[in-house]
């Protein structure tokens, strides 16, 4: 499952990384890392501490083996709704192909806002509802969102101006990556 997720998520990961605008010492959180491909890209792009959270025991176990030599990487088995992380600990946070599974999206966005420093940037990458509906699997355990739904979640959680970037690939055909900075610092503007 991990390698398959890595393959289909490749373009989404690239666009998400661009949206994060990583700086050399940024500390970064990824929620729902699956196969861990984006974690590897983040580790290569920054020298800061990197944390990954995933709810799945096998995914976390696999990532622990894959990244056993990376002392800067800290992996947690936890749900996005209750991050086992301190307040204002991160410069950047991201989540790719994960939002569909959040049982309480407002709670997850509040958790992202809590663990980000003021001015810290969050990027959420997903297939919008009209795209996912083309695939019959969406009927099983997926919560669907259009871009404006996710934009509203950002605003309600205390993030600033949302910027978006569309991307396309073979699967998914079309995806959207939205990002915004947590309000509370001059550089949010």
Ligand X SMILES: C[S@@+](CC[C@H](N)C(=O)[O-])C[C@H]1O[C@@H](n2cnc3c(N)ncnc32)[C@H](O)[C@@H]1O
Q: Residues interacting with ligand X, by CB under 6 A?
A: 5-6, 9, 12, 31-35, 53-56, 59, 79-80, 96-98, 101-102
How far apart CA 73 and CA 61 sit, in angstroms, is 14
Q: Where are the beta strands (DSSP E) in the chain?
A: 28-31, 50-54, 73-77, 90-96, 116-126, 163-168, 174-181
59 vs 180 by CB, closer to ligand X = 59
Give the number of other CB atoms < 10 A from CB of residue 131: 18
Least Å from the CB of residue 126 to ligand X: 9
The two three-digit tokens of residue 42, written as one number:
């983040």
- Tell me the sheet residues that pair with 125: 96, 177
Q: Which residues, other chains included, contact 56 with Cβ-Cβ below 8 Å and sequence gap of 6+?
A: 34, 77
Q: What is the DSSP letter of 176?
A: E
Minimal CB distance to ligand X: which residue?
34
54 vs 131 by CB, closer to ligand X = 54
34 vs 160 by CB, closer to ligand X = 34
Least Å from the CB of residue 28 to ligand X: 14
83 vs 181 by CB, closer to ligand X = 83
Least Å from the CB of residue 111 to ligand X: 10
171 vs 187 by CB, closer to ligand X = 171
Token match 């739904």: residue? Answer: 149
Least Å from the CB of residue 120 to ligand X: 19
How far apart CA 148 and CA 154 sit, in angstroms, is 10
Least Å from the CB of residue 2 to ligand X: 8
The two three-digit tokens of residue 110, written as one number:
């509040």
């Amino acid at each position: 499952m991990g390698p398959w997720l890595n393959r289909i998520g490749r373009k989404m990961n690239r666009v998400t990384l661009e949206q994060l605008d990583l700086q050399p010492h940024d500390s970064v959180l990824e929620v729902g890392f699956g196969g861990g491909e984006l974690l590897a890209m983040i580790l290569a792009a920054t020298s800061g501490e990197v944390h990954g959270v995933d709810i799945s025991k096998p995914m976390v176990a696999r990532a622990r083996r894959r990244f056993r030599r990376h002392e800067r990487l800290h992996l947690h088995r936890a749900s996005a709704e209750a991050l086992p992380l301190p307040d204002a600990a991160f410069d950047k946070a991201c989540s790719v192909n994960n939002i569909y599974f959040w049982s309480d999206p407002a709670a997850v966005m509040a958790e992202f806002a809590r663990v980000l420093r003021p001015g810290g940037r969050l990027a959420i990458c997903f297939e919008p509802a009209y795209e996912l509906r083309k695939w019959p699997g969406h009927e099983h355990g997926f919560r669907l969102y259009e871009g404006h739904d996710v934009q509203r979640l950002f605003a309600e959680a205390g993030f600033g101006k949302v910027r978006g970037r569309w991307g396309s690939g073979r699967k998914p055909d079309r995806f959207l990556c939205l990002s915004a900075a947590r309000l509370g610092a001059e550089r949010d503007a």
